[in-house]
Structure formats: structure tokens, C-alpha cells
Amino acid sequence: MKPRIPYTKPSITELEVRYATDATANGWGEHCYEYIHRFEAAFKAHLGVKHAIATSSCTGALHMGLAALGIGVGDEVILADTNWIASAAPIVHLGATPVFVDILAQTWCLDPQQVEAAITPRTKAIIAVHLYGNLCDMDALLAIGERHGIPVIEDAAEAIGSVWHGRRAGSMGAFGSFSFHGTKTITTGEGGMFVTNDDALYETVLTLSNHGRSRTQKKQFWPDMLGYKYKMSNVQAAIGCAQVARIDELIARKQAILHRYRELLHDCQGCKLNDEQAGAVIGAWMPNLVFDPETKVTSECLQAAFAADNIDARVFFYPLSSLPMFGSQRGAKASTDIMSRSINLPSYHDMNDEEQQRVVQLVRGVLYG
């Protein structure tokens, strides 16, 4: 059996170990928030936003942000059919209804025309997910939001390092959410971040994030409203501080891996990697390869071929509308079609060139037999 190639794996150096060790030894009592505040400040500076709140997950950040916008029973929230369930679950937990629309075949992100067509009097938000680090058409989505008075939220969990016409993904919407799960571009093991430029929204989420205790409340153990508990620990934040200190290097490595796949595959007819639109820089969290319909290559045959070569490759997300809790419907057209003939390629930071060549050799074998 050939050695295993993992699809993602964190890049951990002495720095992460040193900070985590320090937080474990010393980050208690009056020091128990130091790494958390440092991590929030550094992440905010990287993105160029006014406010950041570290959370235990991206799902938690989304849940609190949607609650702070007042989303609840009877409301509708529009998002793409192609998504991980984490972007949709908080909508359901708040009693609202996710409304799924199709993706664009080129970018794999939300189709703005279909978003506008799906708006009803109940629509309370649009969630733009920058899938695999590709960018949603934020100009179009923000214009639609403005026209209809509906906030546009950015789930930028996959888009660290992605830039839309000079603005970082996650910094453009009513709020942005990030994930530091072990598979993401920077990690804290589990973790997330809520970011916003809106002072009032920040204050509400800050209160919600601390079991509803306002930071101006003088009384002990006195919640002012029913809140949530989605906080990040100081030890996790210590790892985050080291990762964010290395963020440019970590993004550059992801981009270099995608670039190298492009080079190695440049003469391959019949398959295509992530699209890079003019004016958009993609953070390249996840290289995904889509095969032309004429090649007859399917997601199933790709999974089997990668598994046989001991390479950990993953499927493109299933259309959410096809999942049982959303009614097992037929997925949206492009969402279903792209999923049926594509595969996520391994892209962990420490991956070497030989491993990338092995992946590409396998792809050639599938294409040319």
C-alpha cells in the first residue's frame, strides 16, 4: 500500500506549541482572557474590521449573528443549495426556514439572479458562502440586499485569504463568520470568529455570547437576556495567536498548492480547477476538480480511484435540499450536476511536490485510462 496522503492537516510549529504551553501553565485567573483578546485583535487587523468575537465554532458565530439580527419563527433565509449543513442548521434552530437557490456553474457560489427571484416578504437575510475559497459576486449580492433592505451575511469559513476587489472575504457583509476547525486554513482545533463593522450588532452578539450578560451589568450572575454559550477557551486562542501570526505564510502555501495543481494539469483536457474571476483573489482553501460531462468521469469513480491509491480526497458537498431533514428533494440543477462529476483534492500545507504529482498522475489515469 502506498503511503497515505491526507486531504487537510494543520500546520503546527514550535510557535503554536510554545503559546499553548504558556496558556496551559500561566493563562488562568487574571490572565484567563489574554490570548483570547490578542487573537481577536490580530484577526481583526488581518481582516480590516472593527469588531471580532472568538467563538467555539463557526456554527456558533452564525447562530448568534442570525439571532442578533432578530431572525426567528416564520422568517426565511436564502443561501446556496451547495453548502455544508453548518451554514443552514442555525437558521432551523432559530425556527426560520432556509431557502435554497442554485449555484453558478463557474464559481460554485450563489447565483445572484436566483437570490433576487427567491425574495419574499418573509426574507430576513441572505447568507453568502464563499465556497472552497471561491468568491460570491458580492457587488451583485450587496446591491440586491440594499434594494430590498435585507442584510447580506458572509460565511467566510472557507475563505481566509480570499479578497473581492480589494476587500477581504468576511469584511463586507452585515457580519462575517469564520471556522478554525482542524481542516481549515488556520486552526485552533475547534473554534470560530464572529466579525462585524456594526457597533450595535457587535454589542448584541457580545452579550448573547456571554449567556446574555451585558458587559455594563454590575450585578453578578445577572443575565439581561437569554443568551448562548459559544466561547473560545484561552488555550485554543493561544494556538490561534500563533496561527494568525503565520497567516500570510499559511494562505500563501494554500495558494501555491492550487497553483501547482494548475501547472501539473495544464495540458489535461476535460477537467477544471477552481475558477479565479478577474478582480478576485482566492484563498484556495480547497482545490476542487470538476470533470467535463463528455469525459463520463463521475464522483463515484473518482472516490474509488483515490481510495485505491490511499489518497484522502473528498466529495463536493451534496445539495442541502437533497438531505433527509430538508425533504430529500431533487437538488438544484447546477448544484447536483457539479457534485456528480467532481472531487476535492488534498491540499494540506506540508504537502510536498511528489505527493501533488502522485495526485495528478492518478487524475491522468482516470481521464486517459
Ligand X SMILES: *Cc1c(COP(=O)(O)O)cnc(C)c1O
The residues binding ligand X (CB under 6 A) are: 57-59, 84, 86-87, 129, 155, 157-158, 179, 181, 192
Q: Give CA separation, 196 vs 53, 108, 125, 193, 354, in Å.
A: 9, 25, 15, 10, 41
Cβ neighbours of residue 50 under 8 Å, at least 6 residues apart?
Answer: 44, 196, 197, 199, 202
Max CA separation in the chain (angstroms):
71
SS3 call for 50: coil
Nearer to ligand X, 87 or 114 (CB): 87
Give CA–CA dist 361/345, Å, rounded.
12
Nearer to ligand X, 271 or 321 (CB): 321
For residue 280, the minimal CB distance to ligand X (Å) is: 17
For residue 63, the minimal CB distance to ligand X (Å) is: 9
Contact 96, 77 (CB under 8 A): yes
For residue 352, the minimal CB distance to ligand X (Å) is: 25
For residue 138, the minimal CB distance to ligand X (Å) is: 15
Smallest CA-to-CA distance from 134 within 169, 179, 166 is with: 169
The secondary structure element, H or E, covering residue 79 is: strand 76-80
Nearer to ligand X, 287 or 360 (CB): 287
Cβ neighbours of residue 366 under 8 Å, at least 6 residues apart?
Answer: 297, 301, 302, 305
For residue 186, the minimal CB distance to ligand X (Å) is: 12
Smallest CA-to-CA distance from 120 within 81, 77, 73 is with: 77
CA 46, 51, 56, 60 torsion: positive or negative? negative
Smallest CA-to-CA distance from 173 within 205, 139, 122 is with: 139
For residue 69, the minimal CB distance to ligand X (Å) is: 17
For residue 74, the minimal CB distance to ligand X (Å) is: 24
Cβ neighbours of residue 178 under 8 Å, at least 6 residues apart?
Answer: 43, 58, 61, 156, 157, 160, 170, 184, 192, 193, 195
Nearer to ligand X, 187 or 210 (CB): 187
Smallest CA-to-CA distance from 158 within 62, 289, 11, 286 is with: 286
φ, ψ (nearest 5 deg) of residue 123: -65, 125
Give, in degrees to the nearest 5, the angle at Cα 246 between 166 and 44: 50
Nearer to ligand X, 114 or 179 (CB): 179
Nearer to ligand X, 102 or 155 (CB): 155
Nearer to ligand X, 157 or 250 (CB): 157
For residue 57, the minimal CB distance to ligand X (Å) is: 3
For residue 145, the minimal CB distance to ligand X (Å) is: 19
Nearer to ligand X, 232 or 271 (CB): 232
Nearer to ligand X, 85 or 367 (CB): 85
